[in-house]
Amino acid sequence: MTKSSSSHTTSTSSQQSQKVEAYYQLHAQIYDATRWSFLFGRENLLDKIPDLPSQPHILEIGCGTGKNMERLSYHFPDASIVGIDLSPDMLQKAKKRLGSTKDIELKLGQYGKQSFNYDSFDLILVSYSLTMFDDNIEDVFEQICKDLKPQGYIAAVDFHTSPFNWFCKWMEMNHVDFSEQLFSLFKKYFSPSDIELKKAYGGLWTYFQFVGRQS
């Protein structure tokens, strides 16, 4: 049965997090119907994740409406899976989707502002969430390293950049950072086992997939 929990985060939320939370009050309602057309690479990322130990602990940071968690529980049926997200509206959708799925926990809050009951995770998944985080992104990478077991895997997919300034600006208006820094940070903090940069819509933007371990 899905468990949910919340933490006291509002008073410590950054401005960016408050904007993201407000953005998803509306966008949660249309998220699953629309995002298939531009959040590419989510499905086959899970196929690149190597075998994990039995009964793995898995975390998704910024789990949104729970689409990836549903697929994770199919891929790793004996896993216990935690999803954290700052948007109550997105988590409400995830709860609806995952209601009858066992060993899934949904946590409301900003990643990094609370600790987990598990000592650490065998796999951490970040799918199109880190480009919406605020400026202290290196702190987030430090936190991921602490939350991962030493031999644990990180799997990530996210926007990289675009040659079109107008497009980057438009994405910024949607609270998404297109400054290319994330891909370099993954390579700095983790040793890749599978890494790809891909074009979307003939090069309107690029996105990356990264699977790796702590260096």
Ligand X SMILES: C[S@@+](CC[C@H](N)C(=O)[O-])C[C@H]1O[C@@H](n2cnc3c(N)ncnc32)[C@H](O)[C@@H]1O
Residues that bind ligand X (CB under 6 A): 17, 20, 24, 39, 42, 62-64, 67-68, 84-87, 90, 110-111, 127-129, 132-133
Whichever of 56 and 127 has its CB closer to ligand X, that residue is 127
Q: How far is the CB of 88 from ligand X (least distance, A)?
A: 9
**161, 179 contact by CB (below 8 A):** yes
- Give the angle 161-162-163 at the CA atoms, nearest 5°: 130
Whichever of 26 and 55 has its CB closer to ligand X, that residue is 26
Q: How far is the CB of 41 from ligand X (least distance, A)?
A: 10
Alpha carbon distance 11, 9 (integer Å): 6
Residue appearing with tokens 């996105």: 207
Whichever of 52 and 155 has its CB closer to ligand X, that residue is 155
Q: How far is the CB of 77 from ligand X (least distance, A)?
A: 21
Alpha carbon distance 124, 126 (integer Å): 7
Tokens, residue 121? 């995770």
Q: How far is the CB of 54 from ligand X (least distance, A)?
A: 25
Q: How far is the CB of 4 from ligand X (least distance, A)?
A: 15
Whichever of 52 and 86 has its CB closer to ligand X, that residue is 86
Whichever of 128 and 178 has its CB closer to ligand X, that residue is 128
Q: How far is the CB of 192 from ligand X (least distance, A)?
A: 20
Helix (H) or strand (E) holding 46: helix 42-47
Distance of CA 116 to the CA centre of its chain: 16
Q: How many helices (H) does the chain have, and how many strands (E)?
A: 8, 8
Residue appearing with tokens 């987990």: 116
Whichever of 39 and 52 has its CB closer to ligand X, that residue is 39
Tokens, residue 14? 């950054």
Alpha carbon distance 109, 88 (integer Å): 9
